[in-house]
Structure 1
Amino acid sequence: MNKRILPFIAAVIALVSVFLVVQVRNSPATTVMDDDGDYGDGIFSIDTDRNINDEFRKVYGEGGDSFSRWLQSGRDPSVVPAVVAGIVRDGTFIFHSGVNADLDTPMGIASLTKTFTAVLTLRLAEEGVLSLDDPVRKYLPDVKIEREDLGSRKVTIRDLLAHLSGMPTAGDQYSAVSAGREIIQFPRQKNPAGLCYAYNNAGYVVAKAVLESATGKPYDGLLKKYIFNPLGMDATSAKGSNGTGGIVTTLRDLAKYTTMLINRGRYGGKSILSDTSFHEMLAPQVELPRTEVDYHYSLSWEVITVKGRVDSYYKAGRWYGESSAIQVFPARKIALVYLCNPPHHLTPAFMSWRQSLTGRLRNLVRASEGDPGLCTSWPSLSAEQIQWYTGTYENILTGKKIKIWIENETLLSSLSNPPGQLHAFTSNRLLMGQGNVLHNFVWQDSRVVGLALTSGYYRLVP
């Protein structure tokens, strides 16, 4: 028999084995499957008294056992008191393991909440309630993010979801305005809207207020109507969520959401997002150069592309007492998920452990797919490509100039003294030195036109 067929047969056997140990809930919709193979809610009624990992072990070897042993012994309880993780394929877990937590233990998901805000916004756009390209001030007249002195256009809903508002990750000046029953705080814009990515929590707080203003309904109620209830996420709550964090769920419920993602917006015969909206959710929101492998931030997701196609997309969240992640491999229809509760989410000990957790889960995905090369590509730039970024850039407000040049085949920046070496993080975002100072180069009409830094925007000059 062709050896290349064996992993496929093994995977089919595993799925059948897992399916047989699933107990279906008493619901008229639990056995519904549509033509794409989406499963109804009951497929997640896994009998946790029986270890479905036995089926995983039979097909994929001892990788699952090794992971479970590491989860027990490689965890400092003071750093991570509880954790539960799993691999989801075709509407069910093919593997899961936990310490002091199981599939039904509620935990906060921190910034993974942003993906729910994005899905909800796209759904409301489908229904004609709003448009992604509507200005924020259409719904929140007092929330003025754009600055005239920067020449910024009006900030849109799309800008908020894609972190393109021009607001910095952390600002030195903040505005506070009333929005409904809440006071919204947001940092002073540093770069013109729509040009460059800068991760910003305030943008999603504003987005939540936009959704409530556009619909006249509370954010948590909208999530229930459009996402939680259709997916059967009965153990999930968004009470108290600010749009950027705050959702509390279980791994069982999170797997339902993940299955919807795997199936491009569909679940159990229901459409949460259209295929057009789903494509929009993962697409680049700024112009990028063409490279073999790239990484971009879409509408809430971090997307890795290989030869122009989505290889995987990922989103993690971390805050005090909560951390989570989903990574979907769309071509394989498989995903990894986890929840844990670190008391302190920024310590080196937790960050190192979390990196190991994600790496080991990816190894389980590779084992199940029989592909050790899965998710091992990362963006790089050739000697010819780094020449794209050479030139002199001038701050549009202060006139300060920064020079980017090549010396001994190394791209250097005059932002630091001595000049710092730039290395590729993505096709248009380069990091400088040990401090990893981000240089965000702006492309328009297939050429570089500017450089966005935390200190402001620099225009490429002759």
Structure 2
Amino acid sequence: MTSSEELLPGTRRALLHRIATAQSEGRTPSLVAAVQRGGRIVWSGARSCVNGHAPDGDTQYRIGSITKTFTAVLVLRLRDEGLLDLDDRLEKHLPDAGVDDVTIHQLLAHSAGLGAETPAPWWERTPGTDRPTLADVLGERPQLHSAGRLHHYSNPGYTLLGALVERLRGESWAEVLRREILEPLGMDRTTPQAQPPHAGGWAVHPWADVMLPEPAEDLGLMAPAGQLWSTTTDLLRFAAFLERGDERVLSTSSVSEMRAPAAPSEAGDLAGAYGLGLQVVRRESRTLLGHSGSLPGFLAALWFSVEDDVAAVVLSNATSGPLTTAVAADLVGIVADAEPRIPEPWRPLPEIDDELLALTGPWYWGTHVHTLKLVADRGLELRPLRGAGRGARFQARPDGTWVGLDGYYTGETLRVMRAEDGTVDHLDLGSFVFTREPYDPSAAVPGGVHEGGWQGLAP
């Protein structure tokens, strides 16, 4: 099954071939996938071991740890409402949690030092009633590492974040999720419990073509780490939100904050990092954001590229089967490479600010030449003229300064420093002085300029 009228035939065939290969070689009972571009689903496809019963965009699969991204959004909403600060220690809001010196930010980024799993028995294949309290989830030794020292993926950490949401909202995590994310985004096929039509979870024997049903347990307190069921259609709605933001749920600036790397990946994984509830990976020359997920009987992946404006979701129903993370990344790459995004037409600024226009052009940090450009919304962009180096975009503040938005100068302040007569003397960027000429003797260069000026070398 495939559907699309917007992608080229060769692109559609390449997408179908990729998922068909994944289902066949991965030996999964079924696999469903979809690709979104420009906020619209432009392709969907599915494969099944049962003729005539291929899933579609309305078929639910369990999505495992993609649930964590939803929980992270709920926590960011609390922050944006002023009910907490990400640097708050968890015990400030949840004093009975059983962990010390752990911040909310560290829990979101998996850098709180908590263990990866709960004490036995394996929480993914046993009912949540086996772990009725947070103490049961955390065990006798909840912290394996010092908080803030390294990235160590923790499922119990997101149980604590779910408990934090419940404590501050006074309602269940599932109810808050439904009201604050699922309903506003129109995700009516994303639910804590399976709703038909849904796939069944299977274990496929590693050495024989036979299958075994997997249990689908209610995870109880562990639900915020991996409970949800969803569809490709719903998850692509969620991907569009994570790319653009939605003021009904979370602002563009807050979802951008989620996407920024907040902790490195596990030791040995040099290709990625972790934001606030989102994985950040480099695949070839492309940055992908999203999350993978697995529970017994199911594998899932959601990836999107902001630069390419392409998102992909892949869902399958086997405990160990196709590498959905790689398949979803490949689907993004197939579309982005075969049919690159067409840039918007260049347009001049709607109005001219003569003072800002006068600041544009070359500036020198010592002898390093940079260019300052005026961009939309009174923004500025400072870049080295040649080669690699420190540069950034800057956003205007009401007080006449600018704040760095990326790179080395993120959060740093750019100021225009004027002489007594009101003319521009230099730019101050986090104490770095940029002048109109290299070591301009008329400007306030730190340490001064040698009175002899520039010199050659006598023969």
Change (3 A) 1:254 1:168: same
Say which SS state the counterpart of residue 225 (structure 1) adopts. helix
Change (3 A) 1:351 1:183: same
Q: Which has the larger radius of gyration?
A: 2
Q: How does 1:243-392 map to 2 (within 5 A)?
A: 243-263=224-244, 265-266=245-246, 270-286=247-263, 295-304=272-281, 311-342=287-318, 344-345=319-320, 350-351=321-322, 355-356=326-327, 358-369=329-340
Say which SS state the counterpart of residue 369 (structure 1) adopts. coil
What is the deviation of 1:359?
Answer: 2.6
CA contact (8 A) 1:282 1:303 kept: yes
Change (3 A) 1:157 1:233: same
CA contact (8 A) 1:142 1:177 kept: no
What is the deviation of 1:110?
Answer: 0.4
Change (3 A) 1:179 1:173: closer
Of 191, 194, 212, the match for 2:145: 191
Distance 1:274 1:74 in 2: 36
Distance 2:162 2:154 in 1: 14
CA contact (8 A) 1:124 1:130 kept: yes
Distance 1:321 1:178 in 2: 24
Q: Which residue identity is paired with 1:55?
A: E
CA contact (8 A) 1:129 1:215 kept: no
What is the deviation of 1:355?
Answer: 3.4
Deviations 1:316-352 (A, max 9, x none): 111212221111111222211121111x23xxxx255
Q: Which residue identity is paired with 1:82?
A: S
CA contact (8 A) 2:28 2:322 kept: no
Matched residues, percent identical?
A: 28
CA contact (8 A) 2:112 2:146 kept: yes
Aligned residue number for residue 417 of structure 1 = none
Change (3 A) 1:79 1:310: closer
Aligned residue number for residue 388 of structure 1 = none
Q: How does 1:157-168 map to 2 (within 5 A)?
A: 157-168=104-115
Aligned residue number for residue 179 of structure 2 = 225
Deviations 1:172-208 (A, max 9, x none): 899x99658x953355312211121001111111111
Q: Which residue identity is paired with 1:158?
A: H
Q: Which residue identity is paired with 2:107?
A: L
1:53 aligns with 2:53: no
CA contact (8 A) 2:26 2:323 kept: no
Aligned residue number for residue 57 of structure 2 = 103
Q: Which residue identity is paired with 1:330?
A: V
187-196 or 219-228, which moves further after superposition? 187-196
What is the deviation of 1:258?
Answer: 1.1
Change (3 A) 1:234 1:321: same
Structure 1 gaps of 5+ residues are 1-47, 147-153, 372-462
Distance 2:22 2:304 in 1: 25
Say which SS state the counterpart of residue 273 (structure 1) adopts. coil
Distance 1:92 1:155 in 2: 40
Change (3 A) 1:294 1:98: closer
CA contact (8 A) 2:3 2:45 kept: no
Aligned residue number for residue 35 of structure 2 = 87
Q: Which residue identity is paired with 1:135?
A: R
**What TM-score do the two structures reach when normalised by structure 2?**
0.57
Distance 1:339 1:112 in 2: 11
CA contact (8 A) 2:281 2:287 kept: yes
Structure 2 gaps of 5+ residues are 48-53, 122-129, 194-217, 343-459
CA contact (8 A) 2:308 2:341 kept: no
CA contact (8 A) 1:303 1:310 kept: no
CA contact (8 A) 1:143 1:177 kept: no
Say which SS state the counterpart of residue 312 (structure 1) adopts. strand
Q: Which residue identity is paired with 1:200?
A: S
CA contact (8 A) 1:75 1:353 kept: no
Aligned residue number for residue 11 of structure 1 = none
Distance 2:249 2:187 in 1: 13
CA contact (8 A) 1:194 1:286 kept: no
Say which SS state the counterpart of residue 284 (structure 1) adopts. coil
Q: Which residue identity is paired with 1:275?
A: T
CA contact (8 A) 1:67 1:360 kept: yes
What is the deviation of 1:312?
Answer: 2.6
Of 178, 199, 209, the match for 2:163: 209
Change (3 A) 1:157 1:355: same
Distance 1:78 1:282 in 2: 30
Deviations 1:197-242 (A, max 9, x none): 0011111111111111121110011111111000011111125561
CA contact (8 A) 1:107 1:322 kept: yes
Change (3 A) 1:155 1:127: same
Say which SS state the counterpart of residue 273 (structure 2) adopts. strand
RMSD: 3.3
Change (3 A) 1:80 1:310: closer
**What TM-score do the two structures reach when normalised by structure 1?**
0.57
Distance 1:338 1:210 in 2: 30
Say which SS state the counterpart of residue 314 (structure 1) adopts. strand
Change (3 A) 1:157 1:357: closer
CA contact (8 A) 1:163 1:197 kept: yes
67-76 or 125-134, which moves further after superposition? 67-76
Change (3 A) 1:367 1:121: same
Change (3 A) 1:338 1:212: same
Say which SS state the counterpart of residue 184 (structure 1) adopts. helix
Change (3 A) 1:161 1:73: closer
Distance 1:332 1:365 in 2: 6
Aligned residue number for residue 116 of structure 2 = 169
The structure 1 segments of at least 4 consecutive aligned residues displaced by more than 4 Å after TM superposition are 170-174, 176-180, 351-354
CA contact (8 A) 1:130 1:214 kept: no
Distance 1:303 1:207 in 2: 20
Say which SS state the counterpart of residue 190 (structure 1) adopts. coil
